[in-house]
Structure 1
C-alpha cells in the first residue's frame, strides 16, 4: 500500500514523539512530585533519623494531619516496634471509652456477724476494688467509721478481700531485677500509696544522716507500718565524704536493706520500693488504724478471702474519677495505674480482672476505632514489657481517631507538655525542649526502656497546622532521647510557606 505525502508526514511526526520517551517512561504512571515545602519536612526528619546513634537500630516515625488523618511523612511506619510507655496511649484511650471519665473505684468495709454491746461477734472485712489512690489516712477514716458504729472489739478475724482481681501480681514479662522497683509494683485490688503520686504497692524509704559521726543513718518509712522490715547497715561519715547509699528489697521478702555511707549534714537519700503482696500492707495499715482508735481485734489477719454475700456494709469510699486520676497516670507515666486499668477493663467488660481479659478489651476498642490491633502484640498496659510490638502508624492513627471522642479533652489534658516546669503540667516533658518552638506546644506521651525511646502526641506548626506524630526508636546503644525531641522541634518549627 502506498502512503500519501500527508500520511508519511503524520507517521514521521508520531515516530519522532514516541522515540523521545524511554521504554520505562512509556510504561510508568505519571509521578507526583512533592512540593519543595513537603520535601523540606521530609528532608529534615530524614536527616534527623539518619543520626549515627541509630546505626544498627530501628526508627519508626509517623506524621499525619490532625484535621484529616492523612500521613504526610513516615519512616518504617508499619514496622512493629517496642512502644515503651507509649503503650499507655492505647490503655488510656481504651479505659476512657470502656469505663468512662467519671468512673471511680470503690473500697468498702463489711461486718460478718452481729454487734452486741460494743463487740462484733464475727469478722471484719475490708474489700478493695482496685483503687490505686488509697492512702494511710483513708484507712484511718475507715477505722473511725468502725468506732462510730459502736464497735470497740472484733471477736473474729480482720480479713482483706482482694478477690476483685485475680491473684497474679505481675505481668508476665517483668524481669527478675525489676520486681523490687516501684516501676514494677505488684497489682492488687486492695493496695495503698505512700503519697499523692499514687505509686500504689510501694513504700518510700528515706535515709538521713545521724547527728554523730559513726552512727547509723536514721531511716524512715512512709507510710509507717509493721509489714516491711528495715535492715540498717549504714554509717554516718565525716561531712567531707560523699554519699553512697543503697536501698533495695531482698528478693522474695519484705526485708529492705539500707546500706552505705551518708555524710554528716548531708542530704537525705530517698527511694520508692515495691513491696511483696501489697494486700498485706493495706491490711496492716487498717489493723494499726483500728488499734489507734482503741479497737481490739481478737482474731488473726487474713488476706485473699471473698466477703460473704450476707455481710453488711459498714462504710465505703469512692476514689477520684478517672478524669482526675489521668493527671498523675499520664503526666508521671505511672505504670501501676496502667495495669490497674487493664485489670479493671477485664473485670467490667469480661467479668475477670486479669491481664488476658483486660488486653482483650483494649484490642476490641482499637478494632472498633479503625486501629489495626492485628498488627500488634500487646502484653501489658504500661509498656514495661519488651515483647509489646506496635507500629508507629497505628499509634498516630489512634491519636487521630480519638479526637472526636467526648472524653478527648481529658485525654489531651493528661499528656505532658514540653518545657513547662510544673510537674503536673509538664510531667515527663517538663525538662525537655525548653526554649524551642516545641515549648508549651508539644503535648505528647514519653516512653523509655533500655534501648527504647518513644514520643507520640500533638504539635502545632509555625504556620498553625496541627499535626500528630509518633516516634519509636528501638535497639540503639547509648542514648537517643534527643533524636525524638529533634523531630518534635522540627515539626513545631515547620512552615509550609503557603
Structure 2
C-alpha cells in the first residue's frame, strides 16, 4: 500500500495538465457552475439494500462521476445530488484538502519553549513558558520528549512556574456534553492552542489471574489525581462482554479515578481512552505530571499566561508534517485533530484563530478554487455538528479537482481503504477497491472518495444517508461501492 502513492505522485503533473485542459475546454474556467445532474434510477442492488434496511429512497443522496471529468461530465449515477445534507465526518475532506493546498503537505506546527531567568546548578530561577500554536499531535510521547529537552537545558528544578500560553486560539468555552451528552468520549474533546494528548487519558487493564486482580496503567501521568492501581477480577469463567460496564468506573471527579466493579480475565489486556473530566485543567495536570515523572521538581505552579514580549525560545518542538496529520484525521476520523487543522487555516493568516476566521479562510479558498460551486456550511471543520451541510454535487466536484491537484497523492493516501484499514476495515464491500472517508452521526451515515473500477477508471463516489434509521445504512453504502467498481 505504501508504494501506491509514490507511483501516483510521479503521474500527478500529467494529471494536473490534463485536468486543466479539460477544465478550460469544457467549463471555461475554475469558477464555472456545474449544471444540475439529471436524476437517474438507483441500481437494483441499492434499491434492494434500502428496502432491507427499511430506508426510503429520499434518505439517500448520491453522485458517481469520473474522477478525471469536469464540471460538465455526465455522472454515472445521480440521486438527490443537489440537496444539502449533513455529511458528518465526510466534511473532514473539505478541511484536509483545503489545508493541503493552503499550507502544503510538508507544513509543521512549532511549539516554542522559553526560559525566563538563569540556570545555575541544575535550577532555573524563573519561569518556563510553553507556547501552543495549534499542534494537533502533541501526544504523550512528544510531551515526554519536550520535557527531556527541557532537562537537556541543564534544568532539574524550576524555582518558578510553568506557564502555558494558549492565546493562539481565541475560542469560547465548550461544554463537552453539549453535542450528545457524552462528555467523557474523546471524540468530544475541544480544540486548544496547546492540545495535549487530545485532552484524554488512556487506561490499560492487564489481568493477573494468579493475583486475582487486573493492574491498571494510566497515561499520561497527571498531577494531583488519585488513580486506583488495581481492580478485582470477575468470577472465573465470566465472559468479557460489556467489560467497561462491569468495571463500574467513577470518572467524573477530576481529582480521582476509581472502580466499584470487577474486570473479566477473559478480556485479556484492554485499553480504554477517556476524555478529561476537567478539560481546561488537563494540560496543566499533564505538564506537571510528566515533569515530576521524569524526576523534575517545581516550586511554583503550572498556570495559563502569555509569553513576555521580546523573550526568545530556548528550543522548539516540531510536529509531524501535515501529510501525516491528515492521514490520522481521515483514516481514523479524529475530530479534535480536524478542528486543529481547520483553525490553523486562520492562524496562518491572522496570527490568532477563531471559528469565524477559520470559516472565512475556508470560504476564500473554496471560492478561489471552485468559484460558484455551492459553499459547504462547515461549522467546526470536523463534521461533528448538527448544522454542517453540503451537497453531494459540490463535494464530488471538489474531489474531481483534488484528483488533478498536486496534493492528490497525500489526500488519497489519507483515506481509509475498503475492507483493509481505518474506519473502513469492517466494510463488506470488495477489499481494496476504494479509498473513502466515512462519516456517521446519530442520523447520518456517509462515504465519499474514490473507487477503482474494473475498467481501470477511477470514480468519485459521494453517498450520504440522512434518516433516523441511518445506522442501518452500511449495507446500502457497501452496495454502492461494489456497483461503482463494476463498470463493465
Corresponding position of 1:443: 435
Q: Secondary structure at the match of 1:237?
A: coil
Q: Secondary structure at the match of 1:287?
A: helix
Write out aligned runs for 1:165-180 (5 A). 165-168=169-172, 170=174, 174-180=178-184
Q: Which moved more, 1:241-250 or 1:98-107?
A: 241-250
Corresponding position of 1:14: none
Corresponding position of 2:85: 81
Tell me whether 1:418 sits opposite 2:418 in the alignment: yes
Q: Which moved more, 1:306-315 or 1:384-393?
A: 306-315
Tell me the TM-score normalised to structure 1 length.
Answer: 0.80
Tell me whether 1:459 sits opposite 2:451 in the alignment: yes
Inter-partner Cα distance in structure 2 for 1:171 and 1:57: 34
Corresponding position of 2:138: 134
Corresponding position of 1:24: none
Q: Secondary structure at the match of 1:79?
A: coil
Q: Is the CA contact (8 Å cut-off) linking 1:363 and 1:373 kept in structure 2?
A: no
Inter-partner Cα distance in structure 1 for 2:177 and 2:93: 19
Corresponding position of 2:235: 238
Inter-partner Cα distance in structure 2 for 1:226 and 1:282: 10
Q: Is the CA contact (8 Å cut-off) linking 2:160 and 2:299 kept in structure 1?
A: yes
User: Over residues 4-32 of structure 1, what are the superposed CA-to-partner deviations in whole Å (9 max), with x where a residue is unaligned?
Assistant: xxxxxxxxxxxxxxxxxxxxxxxxxxxxx
Report the alpha carbon displacement of residue 488 of structure 1 after superposing the two structures with TM.
1.0
Q: Is the CA contact (8 Å cut-off) linking 2:177 and 2:183 kept in structure 1?
A: no
Q: Which moved more, 1:64-73 or 1:249-258?
A: 249-258
Task: Describe the shift of the 1:314–1:270 C-alpha distance in structure 2 as closer, same or farther (beyond 3 A).
Answer: same
Q: Is the CA contact (8 Å cut-off) linking 2:176 and 2:183 kept in structure 1?
A: no
Report the alpha carbon displacement of residue 56 of structure 1 after superposing the two structures with TM.
8.0
Q: Is the CA contact (8 Å cut-off) linking 2:338 and 2:382 kept in structure 1?
A: yes
User: Over residues 234-264 of structure 1, what are the superposed CA-to-partner deviations in whole Å (9 max), with x where a residue is unaligned?
Assistant: 5422212234433767458464454433234
Inter-partner Cα distance in structure 1 for 2:427 and 2:133: 37
Task: Describe the shift of the 1:119–1:52 C-alpha distance in structure 2 as closer, same or farther (beyond 3 A).
Answer: closer
Corresponding position of 2:423: 428
Q: Secondary structure at the match of 2:396?
A: helix
Inter-partner Cα distance in structure 2 for 1:255 and 1:167: 28
Q: Secondary structure at the match of 1:356?
A: helix
Q: Is the CA contact (8 Å cut-off) linking 1:79 and 1:392 kept in structure 2?
A: yes
Q: Secondary structure at the match of 1:486?
A: helix
Report the alpha carbon displacement of residue 130 of structure 1 after superposing the two structures with TM.
1.7
Report the alpha carbon displacement of residue 293 of structure 1 after superposing the two structures with TM.
5.2
Write out aligned runs for 1:50-449 (5 A). 53-55=54-56, 58-69=59-70, 70=73, 71-116=75-120, 118-168=122-172, 170=174, 174-193=178-197, 200-209=198-207, 211=209, 217-226=214-223, 228-230=225-227, 235-243=232-240, 244-246=243-245, 250-251=251-252, 253=254, 255-264=256-265, 266-276=267-277, 278=279, 280-291=281-292, 294-303=295-304, 305-370=305-370, 374=374, 376-420=376-420, 426-433=421-428, 436=430, 439-449=431-441
Q: Secondary structure at the match of 1:353?
A: coil
Query: In angstroms, what is the RMSD of aligned CA positions?
Result: 3.0
Gapped regions of structure 1 (runs ≥ 5):
1-33, 194-199, 421-425
Report the alpha carbon displacement of residue 185 of structure 1 after superposing the two structures with TM.
1.5
Q: Which moved more, 1:235-244 or 1:327-336?
A: 235-244
What count of residue pairs does the alignment treat as equivalent?
A: 443
Inter-partner Cα distance in structure 2 for 1:320 and 1:362: 23
Tell me the TM-score normalised to structure 2 length.
Answer: 0.81
Q: Secondary structure at the match of 2:478?
A: helix
Q: Is the CA contact (8 Å cut-off) linking 1:77 and 1:393 kept in structure 2?
A: yes
Inter-partner Cα distance in structure 2 for 1:229 and 1:371: 55
Inter-partner Cα distance in structure 2 for 1:409 and 1:450: 32
Report the alpha carbon displacement of residue 180 of structure 1 after superposing the two structures with TM.
1.3
Report the alpha carbon displacement of residue 444 of structure 1 after superposing the two structures with TM.
0.8
Q: Secondary structure at the match of 2:317?
A: strand
Q: Which of 1 and 2 has higher RCO (CA within 8 Å, sep 6+)?
A: 2
Corresponding position of 1:22: none
Gapped regions of structure 2 (runs ≥ 5):
1-37
Task: Describe the shift of the 1:208–1:115 C-alpha distance in structure 2 as closer, same or farther (beyond 3 A).
Answer: closer
Q: Secondary structure at the match of 2:261?
A: strand
Inter-partner Cα distance in structure 2 for 1:450 and 1:475: 9
Q: Secondary structure at the match of 2:181?
A: helix
Task: Describe the shift of the 1:254–1:358 C-alpha distance in structure 2 as closer, same or farther (beyond 3 A).
Answer: farther
Segments ≥4 residues shifted beyond 6 Å: 38-41
Task: Describe the shift of the 1:207–1:43 C-alpha distance in structure 2 as closer, same or farther (beyond 3 A).
Answer: closer
Inter-partner Cα distance in structure 2 for 1:464 and 1:147: 55
User: Over residues 188-225 of structure 1, what are the superposed CA-to-partner deviations in whole Å (9 max), with x where a residue is unaligned?
Assistant: 222322xxxxxx22111133445468x66432212233
Report the alpha carbon displacement of residue 65 of structure 1 after superposing the two structures with TM.
1.6
Q: Secondary structure at the match of 1:494?
A: coil
